[in-house]
Amino acid sequence: MICVSLQRGEHRGVPCIFIHFPFHFQFKEHLKAFPGIRWSQSNGCFYVPYSVVLSRQLEAHILGWKDVTLVYEGQEEQHKQTAQAQRRALLPKDKKELLNYFESYLIGKRYSASTLSVYLSFIKDFLQLHKEEDPESLDGESVRLYIEWAVKQHQYSISTHRQLVSALKHFAFFYPKCAIDPERITRPKRQRKLPVVLSMEEVMRILQVTRNLKHKAIIALLYSSGLRVGELIDLQLSAFDFERKLLHIKSGKGNKDRYTQLADSVIPLLKTYYDAYQPQVYFVEGIKGGRYSATSVRAFLKESCRLANIRKSVSPHTLRHSYATHLLESGTGLRYIQVLLGHSKPETTMIYTHVRSHDLADVQSPLDLLVRKYRDSGNNTNELSFGRGRIPDKDNKF
């Protein structure tokens, strides 16, 4: 099954529809047979000029291919939810009902929609793996077998593994008839990874190579206000206070509200974007309205990084990390950064003290001290040469 995504945009000032899909030679040849289709080197995808009639003809042409699913920009999450509902239908009746009751239990605990989706996905897989067993017979051994299978099958990261354990613990509390002891399900230790941070120059390069106005506005707002991608796609037009230059973030992570800054330099870009796209409710919307998709944000940001020749592993959250680090490097106090980011604990914000370049650059390597001492004593420093490798250029590139 090929998932084809259609995205509205502009190519050289002309409204068009971009067509994204995982590489498939036969489908590509089928698509090329559509009249007027062109390849965009800068965007790395096919496109056609936009019109209502042409868009309907394009849809019909795409759906003429066997085994294809058509989604619109901003609707990838809806497509994912539909697929999850279809997988849920494969469960036996008793386990399907159990999963529905568990969903009601989580809703009653007022968990966010994203947490709800993640936990239900894990428990659905757990019940699917043990679909031949009576739910009351599920025990610690059932949990162990599922965790081992899931981590190996899906290659879960440690953070996802911890979420999986949390879902199982909640399920055990919800369904005490089973023989699962939630206290005996252990989480792996949390990883202490330092965040990937872009330099200010790299952020500027990303903005410069991003031609699509909507995409540029999204990247600029993510960086200039330190938003999470979920906060961005939930951001409504009523959240903008241009007079006070503030953004009102409602029900952020942990169901917390906060205010964050609205940069002077981004306001003209946001107003130009609004005039061009005329969103109705949300700051950024899909082709057919409604919330935009986080998947789309990650996809075009990855493409912008490729065009900007940035080899770091960059996600929308990297822009938030970069925002916090650059604030710290410019002298902003940790307490202010904690408030702007919406962190509950100052320890969470303090991780940025480990990645700010100013302090790290001031620390001298003992090898540099050794070479300087050796040179000052009048000795020949050529004796300390380690080879004839290429010297990095002014941008620290080899």
Where in the sequence numbering do the catalytic residues fall? 228, 253, 317, 320, 343, 352
Contacts of 231 (CB under 8 A, 6+ apart): 249, 252, 253
Rounded Cα–Cα distance for residues 244 and 327 (Å) = 20
Rounded Cα–Cα distance for residues 318 and 329 (Å) = 16
Rg (CA), the chain: 26
User: Residue 258: beta bridge partners?
Assistant: 249
User: How is residue 254 written in tokens?
Assistant: 């942990």
Rounded Cα–Cα distance for residues 389 and 26 (Å) = 46
CA distances from 7 to 99, 215, 348, 394 (A): 35, 11, 37, 39
CA distances from 308 to 42, 45, 209, 215, 257 (A): 11, 17, 6, 14, 34
Rounded Cα–Cα distance for residues 34 and 29 (Å) = 9
CA distances from 30 to 25, 26, 42, 61 (A): 9, 6, 22, 9
